[in-house]
Amino acid sequence: MELPFGDLYEDLRDLCVSKAEEFSLLGYENIGPRDIWKCVAGQYKQIPAMHQLVNDILSLKITKYMNYVMIAMYKNPDSI
């Protein structure tokens, strides 16, 4: 589920780019900023505080991202 507010993504886009670049250094070149955002934002049903989103983006580990991708593929194989 992607959150319906684009302004927050635009504010945090640089953090998502930084995390995607970090994953790229680890050998995961196909992960982009939008993928990071979908993973982090998908865990919320309501708009969280900005500091919570910042913490979630900066502390995101590749294992948590891969778990998110696997679950998304099981739910809808055409979504990823």
Domain ranges of the chain: 6-75
- What are the C-alpha distances in Å from 1 to residues 13, 44, 45? 18, 8, 9
Are 38 and 2 in contact by the 8 Å Cβ rule? The answer is yes
What is the value of pTM for the model shown? 0.86
The model's pLDDT over 4-61, given as tens digits with 9 standing for 90+, comes to: 567 888 999 999 999 999 999 999 999 999 999 999 998 888 889 999 999 999 999 9
